[in-house]
Amino acid sequence: MHDFLTGPLFWIALFVCLVGSLTRFVLYFKGLSWQLDRVAYTTYPQAGAKGAFRSIYKWLIPFGTRGWQTQPFITLGFFGFHLGVILVPLFLTGHALFMESKVGFHFFTLSVGLGDFLSWTAVVAGTFLLIRRLVLPEVRILTTWNDIFILLISIAPFVTGLLARYQVGDYGFWLNMHILSGEVVLLAIPFTKLSHVFLFFASRAQLGMDYGIKRGGMKGTKMAW
Amino acid sequence: MPQGIYCNRQTINTPDEVNKLLSDTSGNNYYQEMKDLDVDRDLLWKTIEKTCKSRMRTWLEICAHCGMCADSCFLYEVNGRVPEQVPAYKIQSTLGEIIKKKGNVDNAFMRRAMKVAWAECTCCNRCGMYCPHGIDTGIMFGYLRGLLYQQGFVPWELKIGAGMHRAYRAQMDVTDEDFVETFEWMVEEYEDDFPGLTVPVDVEGADIMYTVNAREVKHYPEDLAEAAILFHLAGENWTVPSKGWEQTSLAMFAGDWAACKMQVESVYDAMERLKPRRMVGTECGHAHRATVIEGPYWAGRKNGLSPAPAIHYVEWLAEALNTGKLKVDPEKRIKEPVTLQDSCNYIRNHGLKKATRDIMSHIVAPGYFIEMAPNKEHNYCCGGGGGFNGIGKFRKERNIALIKKRDQIIDTGAKLVIAPCHNCWDAIRDLEEEYEIGIRWSFLKPLLIEMLIIPDHFKPEE
Amino acid sequence: MFKKILLATSATPASDHAARVAFNLAGTYNAELNIFHVLGVPSRGFSQVVVDVKTREKVDVDDEYLFGVTEEIKAYYGKYLDNGPKVAIDVTVGLPAREILRQAKAYEPDLILLGGSTGDADQSVYKRSAAGSTLHKVAKAASCPVMAVTRPAASFWGGMSNILFGTDFSKTSDKAFEYALALAENMGCELHVFHALDIAGVQSGKLLDQDEIEQKIRESLRRIRARYEVRLKGLKSYSMDVWEGIPFIEIVKYARDKHADLIVMAHHSRRLASEDTRLGSNVEQVIVRAGCPVLSVNK
C-alpha cells in the first residue's frame, strides 16, 4: 500500500496535476479574444504585462489591496491557510527528504517549529473558513457541497499529517492517509475549483491587462486592481 | 405566443417604429406581452457558444464562493444586506444557470434575469476590484444584458433607447439639423455676453472635435453654449461635426451591441471626415465609456483606439486650467463645503481621478473640498448608472439605490455636489427630490463660467 | 403694431392677468395668438417621465396626455376663445424659459406675454428644476419685447393714457425708447421719460451729499433732453423727470405718481457686473412690484 502510494500513484498524481494544469493554463490564454473581451492584448504588450504583474503581486500581499484591507478576518484566514498550503508541501523537511529520494534534489527546509506552526495555522484557518462558509449568510447562499468537499480535502492532508507527526494512533496508517489525501488534492487540482492554484494567476493577469491597457493603466493612474 | 406586437425579438430601427413603441404608455402592453414571450433556446445557446469563452467561463467556474464581493456592492448594502444581492449569487443564478442548463431556460427565468440584470446591477465594476480572483461581475452582467436583449427581455425604455440610436444615431429624437440649429441658436443668444462667440461646424483639421449628449440639445441647450464659451475663452481651434455629433449609448445599457457599433461608427466617421487632432466629449460618463473605451472594439479596431485620440471633458478642462489657457479668479472660487462625485465610467474604469481633482484644486478655495468616503476608484455608483435612472419598472429599486450616495453626501456635510456626468447629475437631482437633503448639484461648465478671469479682448464693449 | 402674440402661460391664476391682456390685444389688433404651455419638466433620466407642474406628480407623457392638457387649457380659457380670435394652443415638455424661447424662435411673435411667478421657491415645480427665473432668462434672450403682467391693476389695453419709459442711458435703453415712442404714437398717450439716479448702489457705504445729488439730477435731466427731447416733440404730451434713490423703487413710485398704465424699460441682453443675481435686474424688480404691466425690450 505504502509503496503504491509513494510509487505509481505519486507519479500519476504529479503527472496529471502538472500536465493538466499546464494544459488548462495554456488553453485559458488561447481562449482569450481581444474582440470578445474588448481588450487590445497584443497591441500593448508592455502595458499589459505591467498591469498583469501589478494585479497579481498586489493581491499576494496581505492587506495589499483595498479588498484585503476592508475584510481583515477573511484576509487573515486566507493568508493563514494559503501560507501553510503553499509552504508546507514544498519546504517541510519530511517532504524534502521524500523529494530527494524521488528526483534527487530538494528545496530549502523549514525548521520543525515553523513547520508545525504553519501546519497548525493552516488547520485553524481552514476550519475558520469552513465555519465562515456556514455561518455568514452572504457566503452560505453561495456555498455548495462542492465547496465544502474542496475545503475538506484541502485540510485533510494537514490533519492527517499532524496526526502522523505527533504519532497519534497508528503512524503507518495516518502516513498513508496523509499521502493519499495529498495525492487526491494533486489529482483534483486540474479538474476542480482547486484549479485556482494556477488560474488565479491567469485570471488576475487578464484583469490586470484589461485595466492596464484599456481601463486606466495607460492614463498613468496608480490604481490597484 | 412567440412574439408580441410590442414585445418581441425584432430590433427597432426607424422613427415610426420608435413612436409606435413609445405610444404604449409606460410599456404596459409591452410587459404584458413579455409574460408570454418564448425563449429561443437554440439561438441562446449558439450565441453563448460563439461568444462566451475563456475569460467569462473561467470567471464563472473559478469563483471561490468566498462572498468577498458582497461588501463591495452598494446594492447589497442598501438592500439590507440580503444574501440574494451578493454579486456572485446574482450572476451565478442568472448567467451561471443559463450556461449550466445549456440555454434550456424558460420565460419566467428570463424575466427574473431581466430584473437582476437591470435592477440589481448597474455594471459599475466595483466588485471586480474587490475580488481576489479579479472576477468582474459587472462585465458579466453587461454580457448577460446582451443575451437578454437578443431574446427580447429588455426593459421598455431601453428597447426604445436602443431604437433611438438606430433611428437617429442619438439617444433622443434629435436630428442632425436640430443639433446644428440649436447650437447656432445658443451661440446667438450668448453672443452679446461673449463677442466673437461662434460654433464652427465641420471644420477640417481642427484641434478639437466636440461631441455631446442629445439631451443637451433637447432640454439643456445652455450646456452647448457653455461649452462654446469655454472653448472660445481658452482660445481653442475647435469644431463640431454636423453628423456623428452624439457620443452617448443607451444601446450599451440595453445590450444591443449591433446598435452600439452603429452609434460609435457614426462618431468615428466624423473623426475620419474632419481629421481633428483629438476629440473632446461632453460631461458624460457612459458616453466616454461607449465611444472612447469600449467603442473601438465594437467597431473592430484591433488597437483599441478610435480614429482620432479622444478624451473626456474633465481631461480637457484640467489641461486648460493647468496650462493657464483658462484662468480662475481666486476671489470667485467656491467657498462653501463642496464634494465631488466620481463617475464609475471614467474614474474607476479609465483612471481619470487626477483630472477631476486638478480641476477641484483650481475652482475650490482651500479647505472647502471634502472628499466622499470612499472616493476615487473606490467610490460608489450614483445609484442611477447602467440605465437605472430611466427604467420605470424598476423605479422603486432605483430610489433605494440612491440611498448609498445620499448617505455619502450627507456624511461629507457638503452643500454642493459637483457631478461631471449626465447620469450622476440626474441621479443626484432625483436623490434630492426624493430625500430632500438640502443640496445643490452642478456640472463643471456653469461653475467655471462664473469664475473665470475673462481677458479684455473677450469682453463686450461697454 | 401686433400681428403675432405669444402668451406663455402656466394655465393657472398666476397667468390670468397676462392672459386677459393677451386676448385683449389679439382682439384689438386682430392678431394671431399662440397660447404656449410647458406642462412639466423632464425627469428620471431618459425615461418619458415628466413632473407635471400642476399636480407635481410624475407622469408618463404620451400623445393622449398632451391632448388632455390641451383640452384643459381650452376649457380654462373658454370664455375668451368663444369670441373667435385666431388662436393656436401648443403644449410641450421642458424647462420653461428654454421652451418659451424655442417657441418664440420658431413662431417669431411681435410680443411675448408672461404671467406672474408660479409660486414661492419651495413649492414650484418650475423653480426646483431650473436655476434663475423664467422671466429673467426670457427677457434677456428674447428677440422681441417681453411684457410681464403680474398684478390685476390695469390689465386692460386700450384704455391707456400714460406710458412710463425708464432709461439708464444705455444703447439698449435707446431701443426701448424707440419702442415706447412708437406705442405712445400708436395709442395717442402721454409718454413720461424717467431716469432713476442710483445713489445707493454706486457708492456702497458712502452716501453722496445733497449738493452732489442735486448736481447729478441736473446732469441727468440735461442728458435726457439731449437724447430724447427732439424725438418727443411729435407727441401730444410728454414729461421728463429724474428722481434719486434705489432705481426700481423710484420707478415704481414714479409710475404710481403718474398713474402709468404701462412701463417700458430695457432689459440688457448681457450680464452686467452690477447685477445682483439674487434680486435680478432692476427690470425684474419693477415687474414684480409695479401696479401695471411692464414691457422689457432688449434689442
The string of pLDDT tens digits covering residues B319-347 is 999 999 999 999 999 999 999 999 999 99
**How crowded is residue C228: how many other Cβ atoms within 10 Å of its Cβ?**
21
Asked which of A14-23, B263-272, C19-28 is least confident by mean pLDDT, the reply is C19-28
Residues 232-251 of C with CB under 8 A from B: none
Confidence of residue C194 (pLDDT cuts 50, 70, 90): very high
- Taken in order B278, B281, B283, B288, the sign of the CA dihedral is negative
Mean predicted confidence (pLDDT) in B74-84: 96
Mean predicted confidence (pLDDT) in C61-88: 85
Mean predicted confidence (pLDDT) in B273-284: 97
The residues of chain B that CATH labels 1.10.1060 are 39-154
Q: What single-letter amino acid sits at B283? A: E
Asked which of A68-77, A190-199, C137-146 is least confident by mean pLDDT, the reply is C137-146
Cross-chain Cβ contact A34/B136 below 8 Å: no
Instruction: Write the residue in A35, A43, A142 that is nearest to B67 by C-beta.
Output: A142
CB < 8 Å to C44, chain B = 389-390, 392, 395, 426, 430
CB < 8 Å to C57, chain B = none
- Whole-number pLDDT of residue C119: 57
Strands lying side by side in the sheet with B238-239: B238-239, B208-211, B278-281, B310-311
B418 pairs with which residues across the strands?
Answer: B340, B442
If residue B433 lies in a helix (H) or strand (E), which one and from where to where? helix B422-435
Distance CA B106, CA B394 (A): 22
CB < 8 Å to B353, chain A = 221
C170 to chain B: nearest residue by CA? B462
Name the more confident of C265 and C80.
C265
Name the phi and psi angles at B109, rounded to 5: -60, -45
- Whole-number pLDDT of residue B378: 96
Shortest alpha-carbon distance between residue A57 and chain B (Å): 11
B460 pairs with which residues across the strands?
Answer: none
pLDDT in tens, C133-163: 788 888 888 999 999 887 775 556 556 789 9
C262 pairs with which residues across the strands?
Answer: C163
Grid cell locating B19:
413612436
Confidence of residue B264 (pLDDT cuts 50, 70, 90): very high
Model-level ipTM above the cut of 0.90 = yes
**Does C86 score more than 90 pLDDT?**
no
| Burial class of residue C195 (count of CB atoms within 10 Å of its CB; 0-12, 13-18, 19+) | buried
- Whole-number pLDDT of residue B416: 96
Shortest alpha-carbon distance between residue C80 and chain B (Å): 32
Mean predicted confidence (pLDDT) in A22-47: 95
- Whole-number pLDDT of residue C132: 43
Grid cell locating B228:
462654446
| Burial class of residue B433 (count of CB atoms within 10 Å of its CB; 0-12, 13-18, 19+) | middle
Instruction: Write the residue in A39, A204, A219 that is nearest to B352 by C-beta.
Output: A219
- Whole-number pLDDT of residue A5: 84
CB < 8 Å to C43, chain B = 429-430, 433
**Does A26 score more than 90 pLDDT?**
yes
Tell me which residue has cell 469552513. A130
Is the separation of the CB atoms in B68 and A67 below 8 Å?
yes
Confidence of residue B106 (pLDDT cuts 50, 70, 90): very high
Confidence of residue C270 (pLDDT cuts 50, 70, 90): low
Shortest alpha-carbon distance between residue C140 and chain B (Å): 9
**Does C121 score more than 50 pLDDT?**
no
| Burial class of residue A96 (count of CB atoms within 10 Å of its CB; 0-12, 13-18, 19+) | middle
Shortest alpha-carbon distance between residue B293 and chain A (Å): 7
Distance CA C41, CA C197 (A): 41
**Does C118 score more than 70 pLDDT?**
no
- With touching defined as 3 or more inter-chain CB pairs under 8 Å, the answer for chains B and A is yes
Confidence of residue C122 (pLDDT cuts 50, 70, 90): very low
CB < 8 Å to B222, chain C = 98
C65 to chain B: nearest residue by CA? B25
**How crowded is residue C226: how many other Cβ atoms within 10 Å of its Cβ?**
9
Q: What is the CATH number of domain B327-451?
A: 3.40.50
Instruction: Write the residue in B55, B135, B303 that is nearest to A37 by C-beta.
Output: B55
**Does C21 score more than 80 pLDDT?**
yes
Distance CA A40, CA C226 (A): 75
**How crowded is residue C107: how many other Cβ atoms within 10 Å of its Cβ?**
17
The residue of B140, B377, B378 whose CB has the most chain A CBs within 10 angstroms, and thus the best one to mutate to test that interface, is B377
Instruction: Write the residue in A27, A139, A216 that is nearest to B67 by C-beta.
Output: A139
Shortest alpha-carbon distance between residue C43 and chain B (Å): 8
**Does C129 score more than 50 pLDDT?**
no
Per-residue CA distances from B9 to B5, B43, B116, B152 (Å): 10, 11, 20, 5
| Residues, chain B | 462
Asked which of B77-91, B321-335, B433-447, C232-246 is least confident by mean pLDDT, the reply is C232-246
Residue A49: name the closest of A189, A210, A157, A224 by CA: A210
CB < 8 Å to B433, chain C = 43, 128
Question: Residues near B190 by Cβ (< 8 Å), separated by ≥ 6?
Answer: B197, B225, B228, B229
* Fold type of domain B39-154: Fumarate Reductase Iron-sulfur Protein; Chain B, domain 2 (1.10.1060)
The residues of chain B that CATH labels 3.40.50 are 327-451
| B459 part of contact set with chain C, CB < 8 Å | no
**Does A132 score more than 50 pLDDT?**
yes
For chain B, helix (H) and strand (E) counts, in that order, are 23, 7
Residues 14-53 of A with CB under 8 A from B: 27-40, 43-44
Neighbours of chain A (3+ CB pairs under 8 A): B
Q: Of A92-101, B103-112, C1-10, C283-292, where does the model show the most confidence?
A: B103-112
CB < 8 Å to B387, chain C = 45-46
Is the separation of the CB atoms in C25 and C129 below 8 Å?
no
Tell me which residue has cell 465610467. B345
- Whole-number pLDDT of residue C276: 47
Mean predicted confidence (pLDDT) in B24-45: 95
The angle subtended at Cα A200 by Cα A195 and Cα A206, nearest 5°, is 125
- Whole-number pLDDT of residue B127: 96
Cross-chain Cβ contact B218/C94 below 8 Å: yes
Mean predicted confidence (pLDDT) in B47-73: 95
Percent of chain C with pLDDT over 90: 30
pLDDT in tens, B35-44: 999 999 999 9
- Whole-number pLDDT of residue C131: 31
- With touching defined as 3 or more inter-chain CB pairs under 8 Å, the answer for chains C and A is no
| C277 part of contact set with chain B, CB < 8 Å | no
Residues 49-108 of C with CB under 8 A from B: 49, 60, 62-65, 94-95, 98, 101, 105
Shortest alpha-carbon distance between residue A155 and chain B (Å): 16
C53 pairs with which residues across the strands?
Answer: none
CB < 8 Å to B294, chain A = 38
Query: Which domains are present in chain A?
Result: 2-11+32-219 (1.20.950)
The residue of C38, C43, C47 whose CB has the most chain B CBs within 10 angstroms, and thus the best one to mutate to test that interface, is C47
CB < 8 Å to B25, chain C = 48, 60, 62, 64-65
Helix (H, G, I), strand (E, B) or coil at C82: helix
Residues 152-181 of A with CB under 8 A from B: none
Is the separation of the CB atoms in C116 and C60 below 8 Å?
no
Strands lying side by side in the sheet with B338-340: B338-340, B416-418, B440-442
Is the separation of the CB atoms in B167 and B266 below 8 Å?
no
The residue of B81, B305, B350, B357 whose CB has the most chain A CBs within 10 angstroms, and thus the best one to mutate to test that interface, is B350
**DSSP secondary structure letters along B385-423:** GGGGGG-GGGHHHHHHHHHHHHHHHHHHT-SEEE--SHH
Confidence of residue C288 (pLDDT cuts 50, 70, 90): confident
Confidence of residue C51 (pLDDT cuts 50, 70, 90): confident
Q: How would you label A45-62 residue by residue, b for 16+ Cβ within 10 Å and e otherwise?
A: eebbebbbebbbebbeee
